Structure 1
Amino acid sequence: MPNFPNIILYAIPFFVLAMVLELYVTTKQHIKTYESKDAFTSIAMGLGNVFLGFASKVLVLLVFFLVYDNFRLFTIPVAWWSFLILFFADDFAYYWFHRVSHECRLFWASHVVHHSSEHYNLSTALRQTWSGGFYTFIFWLWLPLLGFHPAMILLQMSISLLYQFWIHTEAINKMSKWFEAIFNTPSHHRVHHGSNPIYLDRNHAGILIIWDKLFGTFQPELSDEKVRYGLVTNIKTYNPIKIAFIEWWLLLKDASSGRKSLKNRLLYLFKPPGWKHDGTGKVSDDLRNEWLMRKK
């Protein structure tokens, strides 16, 4: 088994230094991007994710090795060219994981944690799920099936996560045009964290923004539409436990309470956030279309 380091743990001191630098820069720019309670909550969520990550990574490795050892179609060697292919394959997998996490409430229940802050800074990048690591790995199962070694896959997933740290900032406005055209940037990701109707469920990219442009989910940041961060209906709490599990509670409540058919109870798991079985709910497409109609 290749002996790759846990680069996320090595990056923790860099995360701290980067947040201090960002706070200094944004203060100089007169941008109030940090709020102490919110930042400490994000850091607490990140630490919880790291601790629970030890358990979830054991599960992920076991499943990846089960597929790799018993069902792989090819044996792809650990080489520079295989990492190049894996870079694109992992980023493609991440796009669909991220998109489905916004369009299916079962996955949104864990992903909503990352969108729960009403602020946008490097500490927001640390606001990670405590539950998603135990089941969202299914979007990557095709990689060990193809023949990529599980250690390679986990390393590339960590690289993608590290890349996405620096784009959680308001200190950088726009990058050069060629970079904005190919890669995920602070501007693109600010859109993703917006609760404005025009920004909802857009820019799901990990490293490459090309997937959003290819599959019709790209939305540029508009100069006349300042991003409002957070959720359509914000949680309004700094309690990490509530943030980690409140959407699971609301999902189970919607699916189990009231008089509704078994089909509708199950649909609450798979329909987008905002969907209601009686037609009274509004999903992101509804809110976006209403916004566009008002702009005409």
Structure 2
Amino acid sequence: MALMDMMETVLEGSGLLELWETLAPWLALDERQLIFVFATPVFIAVTLWEYLRIRHDPTRMDVPEAIRNFALGAGYQMTELLFAGLIAFPVYAFLYHYRILDLELNWVTGLLTFLGVDFCFYWMHRSSHRIRWFWAAHVVHHSSERMNFSTAMRQNATNIFNGMWIFYLPLAFVGFNPVWIGIAYALSLVYQFFVHTTLVGKLPRWVELVFNTPSHHRVHHGRNPGYIDRNYGGTLIVWDRLFGTFAAEDEQAPPEYGITRPVHSNNLLVLWTHEYRDLFRAMSRPGALPLRLKHLWKPPEWDRESE
């Protein structure tokens, strides 16, 4: 079967996509991107609500930075819109064509899709902190020294080229429809938008035990020694508890937001590319090729002199 036939099979019966094609036939979006289109006005409204409550606190809100964060998010959405269908989706369609199982969408497979996507997100997110090539794209999300809803929009336009989407490929090969995977992923990101705030304290114990919460995610954005590389979960925090990466927020040690090597620039291109520049600069130093290539998959703090 030709690649386009595979893609049409995957998209068959997509109601949200048909709705969008009716509203805007000149622009083709998949369901995942369509969810973001409808969610963005909600994100803006909630950000304005938060702004009214923290606007007088410069440690929590800086209007130029908030606008810049949404611009970073727009760049991310644009490259996803233009290139995801060319780069990632054909691979998903190919693997789904040769899938192991034929799974129909029902409550059980829907729940398994959600759990599978969240599990893959955990490992993708963990890898994006511990593998420098992936960190080069993810670092922009952590480079702000403030925590508010606009920080959630602070994403890298290079994500689609960086390849972090490969972590979800096994789900398509097992037999989960890529459309379901995309929807589950988009809904997870919508949920995660709401954990980027300082206005919500700790939630009831059972919620904190199972779900990613603002308290848990504040830890994730902290650069305090005890908070670095903790709480990678997307919707659920159970993966961190299972795999030993969980840390609770300590009210006596509030998170200091940002990265250990701050980037003092307001230029979007610099924010998107500074870690790639440092990565390739490190790789360009004289030495054996295998050692130079190690910079790609070693942790961000690794250096050749450390071995």
TM-score in terms of structure 2 length: 0.87
Deviations 1:9-28 (A, max 9, x none): 00111011000111123358
- How far apart, in 2, do the equivalents of 1:196 and 1:208 lie? 23
More divergent stretch after superposition (182-191 vs 59-68): 59-68
Q: Which one-letter code corresponds to 1:230 in the other structure? A: G
State how 1:131-170 maps to structure 2 within 5 Å. 131-134=158-161, 135-170=163-198
Partner of 2:251 in structure 1? Answer: 223
Give the counterpart of 1:182 among 188, 207, 210.
Answer: 210
Give the counterpart of 1:209 among 237, 241, 263.
Answer: 237
| CA-CA distance at 1:55 after TM superposition | 2.4
- How far apart, in 2, do the equivalents of 1:78 and 1:133 lie? 27
State whether structure 2 residue 16 is matched by structure 1 residue 2: no
| CA-CA distance at 1:31 after TM superposition | 7.8
- How far apart, in 2, do the equivalents of 1:208 and 1:12 lie? 23
Deviations 1:240-274 (A, max 9, x none): 111011111110110112x2221210111111011
Partner of 2:24 in structure 1? Answer: none
Partner of 2:68 in structure 1? Answer: 41
In 2, are the aligned partners of 1:188 and 1:219 still within 8 Å (CA)?
yes
- How far apart, in 2, do the equivalents of 1:247 and 1:149 lie? 34
- How far apart, in 1, do the equivalents of 2:265 and 2:65 lie? 9
- How far apart, in 1, do the equivalents of 2:101 and 2:147 lie? 43
- How far apart, in 1, do the equivalents of 2:36 and 2:76 lie? 11
Partner of 1:262 in structure 2? Answer: 289
State whether structure 2 residue 41 is matched by structure 1 residue 23: no
In 1, are the aligned partners of 2:283 and 2:295 still within 8 Å (CA)?
yes
- How far apart, in 2, do the equivalents of 1:60 and 1:225 lie? 41
Deviations 1:58-109 (A, max 9, x none): 022211001111x210111122221111110000000000001100101101
Q: Which one-letter code corresponds to 1:204 in the other structure? A: Y
Partner of 1:198 in structure 2? Answer: 226
Q: Which one-letter code corresponds to 1:240 in the other structure? A: L
- How far apart, in 2, do the equivalents of 1:56 and 1:210 lie? 33
Q: Which one-letter code corresponds to 1:128 in the other structure? A: Q
In 2, are the aligned partners of 1:52 and 1:130 still within 8 Å (CA)?
yes
Give the counterpart of 2:298 among 259, 263, 271.
Answer: 271
Gaps of 5+ in 1: 281-296
- How far apart, in 1, do the equivalents of 2:220 and 2:194 lie? 14
Partner of 2:261 in structure 1? Answer: 233
Give the counterpart of 2:110 among 55, 61, 83.
Answer: 83
State how 1:33-72 maps to structure 2 within 5 Å. 33-58=60-85, 59-69=87-97, 71-72=98-99
- How far apart, in 2, do the equivalents of 1:85 and 1:100 lie? 22
More divergent stretch after superposition (189-198 vs 271-280): 271-280
Give the counterpart of 1:103 among 125, 130, 134.
Answer: 130
Q: SS of the residue aligned with 1:198?
A: coil
In 1, are the aligned partners of 2:76 and 2:159 still within 8 Å (CA)?
no
In 2, are the aligned partners of 1:184 and 1:206 still within 8 Å (CA)?
yes
In 1, are the aligned partners of 2:146 and 2:258 still within 8 Å (CA)?
yes
In 2, are the aligned partners of 1:2 and 1:151 still within 8 Å (CA)?
no
Q: Which one-letter code corresponds to 1:190 in the other structure? A: R
Alignment CA distance shift 1:34-1:42 (3 Å): same
| CA-CA distance at 1:56 after TM superposition | 3.3
- How far apart, in 2, do the equivalents of 1:171 and 1:133 lie? 32
Partner of 1:11 in structure 2? Answer: 39
- How far apart, in 2, do the equivalents of 1:148 and 1:129 lie? 27
User: Number of residues paired by the alignment?
Assistant: 277
What percent of counterpart residues are identical?
37
Q: Which one-letter code corresponds to 1:11 in the other structure? A: A
- How far apart, in 2, do the equivalents of 1:187 and 1:8 lie? 24
In 1, are the aligned partners of 2:132 and 2:296 still within 8 Å (CA)?
yes
- How far apart, in 1, do the equivalents of 2:110 and 2:240 lie? 22
Gaps of 5+ in 2: 1-11, 17-30
